[in-house]
Structures are given as structure tokens and as C-alpha cells.
Structure 1
Amino acid sequence: MTDLQLWLSAVEMGCFFGMLALAYYLIHVGAGFFNFAIGPYAMMGGLCTTWLIITYDLGVWPAAATAVAVTVGLAALTELAIVRPVQKRSGGGELPALVAVAAVLFAIQQLAGYVFGYPTLPGQSLATFDPVTVGEVTVQPSSLLMIVVALLSFALSALWIRSTRTGRLLRAVGDSNRAAALLGLPVNRIRLIAFVLAGFVAALAGILFAPKAGVNSLSGLAWSLSGFLAVVVGGTGSVWAPLFGGMLLGLVEVFLPYYFGGQAHVYGMLLIALLFFALKPKGLFVRTVRA
């Protein structure tokens, strides 16, 4: 494991998984459940960007901005038109919300296939500078941008949650929607903010990762599972926890196929999932509550 180029690839993969996990984390903290449509949000960001460039000859930045806006709109629509009414009719239960977002996952994938087609489309890099060579490692612009944006996303999220009133309200609402409502806190507004921010982070992740392997209308499910597993591994005890989970998965994704070939990373992911679900279901970092 001395090839630095492999380590760079693992870090890049880890940052992608971590950003997906961060999107999961924001909704879990703000709404109290996991939104399995995170992967399709990321897929929509990557697909929409490429499609706008190919079909309408837009510049990469206007296309990316439009794709982010579309994805954020989908995330907001998920909360306003689907999750909120479902939970209202079911008395606020988590299971109906999980079923609803699972349906959204497949609905977005079908919509993407209808609009963008099913072939894999090449990702579009937002950075245009030449690759940077440091020693034996060549850093592609898209890789550098992914790592920098991921670290900024986590840093800004941590700062926002800890230092702003809205960020602190996010935790309060997520701990108990009913208790927060009884205290007169703006539950609906905070939940909507959580969905919007998660959609924004997921869209960025999809756009930044698409240049590495392309994106198609079936990418959403695989990305949802990877992001969820990163949350399971990292836990929800800290804003940074999903990044640790993502990095572990990134190492598995890159090094297992390199040393063992084939689909070794798939079996590695499955083993990690089984171990954490069975032995440490709350993840590596657990939020402590003092009495």
C-alpha cells in the first residue's frame, strides 16, 4: 500500500462517499430519519449538468448552477409534497417517511431515465487548470476540487450547526419534532432547510464525482447505498463522523480490487456493513447526552 496515486484515489472516493453521508446526516439531524433519495439527488446533479452542456451548449458553470437548483428543488419538493403530508397523515411516524423517500428514490431514477436516457454520460469538470504533479503523484483538477469542496462542506456545516441559531435549532428539531413543536420552534421551516442543504451537498457531490467514472440514470441507487453505509460506519455523533466513514469505504473501494481483483470491493463493503450492523450499529462516533 505504498502507491501514493492509489491513496489519492482512495481519498477522492472517501470524500465523495463522505459528502453523500453528510447529506444523509443533515436530514437525519434535522428530521430524524434517513432520506434514501440522497443518491438520486447526486445523480441528478451530475446528469443534468452534462445533459445541459450537450443539449443546449451551456457553459459548464451555468449548467452546474442550473443542475444544483434543480436538485435543491427536488429535495424541497420531497419534503413539502411527499414526506410532510405522509408523516402528517401517519401521526409523525418514521417508517412511513422511509417508505416515502424510498419511492422518491425510484421515481427520480425513472424520471432521469426518461429525460436523460439510460447510457452513461461523461462527467464535466468544473476546473480547467492543468494536472498538478507532486513527486510521483499526479493530481487531476477534478480530484483536487472534490477534496477541497468536501473539506469545506464539512467545515462550514460544523461551523453552521455549532455557531448559528438555525444550526442549533436543527439539532433540537431532529431530537424530537413533537417536543420542538410544543416549545414553539419553527419545525417545518427547519426541516425544509435540512432538506435543501442536503440536496445542495448531494448535487455538488454528484457533479464533482461524475468526471471520475461518468454517471447514468441507475447510479442513484448505488450512491444511496454507499452514502448510507458511510453514515452507518461513521455514526452521527459528530458532523465530521460521516467523513471518517466515507474514508474507510474509499480505502475498501480502491485497495481491495487492486490487490484481490474483480469485485472484491463489493464483498468488502458487504462485510463492513454486516460487521457494523451487528456489532456497532451506532457507528464509530456516537453522540453523548449528559444527564
Structure 2
Amino acid sequence: MSDPQLWLAGAEIGCFFALVALSIYLVVVGASFFNFAAGPYAMAAALLTGYAAATWGLPILLGAVLGIAAAVAVSLVTEVVVVRPVQRRSGGAELPALVAVTATLFAIQQFAGTIFGRTPVPVANVFPIPDFHIGSVAVQGMTATIVGVTLVVLLATVLWLRITATGQFLRAVGDNHDAARMVGVNVNRVRLWAFGLSGAIAGIAGIVFAAKSGAQFTSGLSWTLTGFLALVVGGTGKPWAPLIGGLALGWVQVFGSFYFGATGSSFATFLVALVFFAFRPEGLFQRKVRV
């Protein structure tokens, strides 16, 4: 475990896990709901970005803007058309909404496969940073992009939650939406903020990571699962907890594969999931709810 190249590889994939986990985290905090469609949002944004550049000849940055806008739009539609009506009809119960969002996840994947094709779509690096070295460690430009974007997005999210009135309203609604409504907070509008920002962050995650791995219509489910597990590991107690969980999961996968072969990554991930679900389901950083 002394090879710094392996630690960098784990940090790279862990940053992607962290962004997807952060997307899920925002909806958990702002709407007390696990939005399992975050992975398909990331997938759709990446596919649209690559498709726009390859088919329409758009600059990669413009394609990325379109991809992020599409992810935000689909996320808002999920809240308005799926989650909110189902929760209203079920008296606020979470399970029916979770089932509905799971169906939405697969619907987005199949729709994306129909629109963009069933084969992987390459996505160029949004920020074409040249490869470089830090001592003996070779750093690819795509790696630097993923890590840098993750840190910027995380810092911006933390500051937004702590400094802005909207961010504080979002936390208040997630803690107790009835109390927030009684003091005049527009709960529905705050939930839209949570879902919209969740879609934006998921879209960013998909675009920067697809430059490394490519994107295809089946990517959404696996991205959701790894992001959710990163959130389980990190917990929802702090806005930077998804980063801790993502990095931990990334290093577990990289070192598991390195020491135990191709199946070692899956086995190590399964073992981490088993340990946290059984012994610490609240994650490393537990959320404290104000009532």
C-alpha cells in the first residue's frame, strides 16, 4: 500500500463516488428522501455532452452546459411529477416514492439508450489539462480535472449550505418540514432547490468522469449504487462526509483489485457494505436533526 500511484487512482474514482453521493445527500438533507435516480442524471448528462460534441459539432464546454441543464431538468421533473404526487397520495410515506423513483431510474436509462444508442459514447475532457508529474507520480489531465472539480463543487456546496438563506432553509426543511412551513418557509420551493442542485452536481459528476471511463445507457444504475454506498460510509452528518465516504470506497476498490485480482474489488465493496449496514448504518458522521 506504499505505491502513491494506487492512492491517486483510488482518489480519482473516489472523487466521482463523492460527487454522486453529494447529489444524493442534498435531497436527503433538503427533502428527507433518497433520490436513487442521481446515477441516471449523471449518465444522461454525460451522454448528451458526448453526443452533442460528436454529432452536432458543439464545443465540449457548450455540450457540458447542455448536459448539466438536462440533468437539472430531469431532476426537477422527478420531484414535481413523480416524488411529490406519490408522497401526497401516500400520506408522506417514503417507500412508495422510492419504488416510483426506482422505476424512473430504469425509464431514464431506457430512454437514453433509445436516444443516444446502445454503445458507449466517448466524452472529451472539459478542461484539457496536460499530463504532468508530481515527483514520481504520473498525473493524467483527466485525473486532475476530476479531483479539482470535486473539491470546487464540494467547497461551493458547503459554503452555500452554511452561508446563504436558501441553504439554511434547505436544512430546516429536511430537519422538520412541518415546523419550517409553520414559520413561513416555502417547502415546495426549497425541495425544488434540493432536487435542482442535486441534478446539477450529478450532471457534473457524470461529465468529468465519463472523460475517463466513457458513458453508456446502462451506467446509471451502477453509478447510483456506488454513490449511495459512499454516502452510507460517510454518513449525512456533514456536507463533506460524502467526500470521506467516496475516497474510502475508491481506495477499497483499487487496493482490493490490486491485491486480490479482478473479483477483489467487488468483494471488498460488498464487505464494506455489509459492515456498515450491519454495525454502523448511520455512517461515519451521523446527522443530528433539530426539532
| Total equivalences in the alignment | 291
- 1:150 aligned partner: 150
1:214 aligns with 2:177: no
RMSD value, Cα: 1.3
1:269 aligns with 2:269: yes
Equivalent runs, 1:166-245 vs 2, <5 Å: 166-245=166-245
What secondary structure is seen at the aligned counterpart in 1 of 2:2?
coil
What secondary structure is seen at the aligned counterpart in 1 of 2:216?
coil
- The offset of 1:289, in angstroms, is 5.3
- The offset of 1:169, in angstroms, is 0.7
Work out the CA distance in 1 between the residues paired with 2:139 and 2:233: 28
What secondary structure is seen at the aligned counterpart in 2 of 1:34?
coil
Work out the CA distance in 1 between the residues paired with 2:162 and 2:185: 18
- The offset of 1:92, in angstroms, is 1.7
Partner amino acid, structure 1, of 2:235: G
Stretches (4+) displaced over 3 A = 288-291
1:78 aligns with 2:78: yes
Determine if contact 2:175/2:289 at 8 Å carries over to the other structure: no
Superposition TM-score, scaled by structure 2 size: 0.97
Partner amino acid, structure 2, of 1:71: A
What secondary structure is seen at the aligned counterpart in 2 of 1:185?
coil
Partner amino acid, structure 2, of 1:82: V
Partner amino acid, structure 2, of 1:155: L
Which range is displaced more, 176-185 or 41-50?
176-185
**Identity fraction in percent:** 50
Which range is displaced more, 57-66 or 129-138?
129-138
- 2:260 aligned partner: 260
What secondary structure is seen at the aligned counterpart in 2 of 1:248?
helix
What secondary structure is seen at the aligned counterpart in 2 of 1:138?
strand
- The offset of 1:6, in angstroms, is 1.4
- The offset of 1:290, in angstroms, is 7.6
- 1:91 aligned partner: 91
1:159 aligns with 2:184: no
What secondary structure is seen at the aligned counterpart in 1 of 2:254?
helix
- 2:141 aligned partner: 141
Which range is displaced more, 150-159 or 186-195?
150-159
Work out the CA distance in 1 between the residues paired with 2:164 and 2:59: 35
Superposition TM-score, scaled by structure 1 size: 0.97
1:251 aligns with 2:257: no
Q: Return 5+ residue gaps in structure 1 as ranges.
A: none
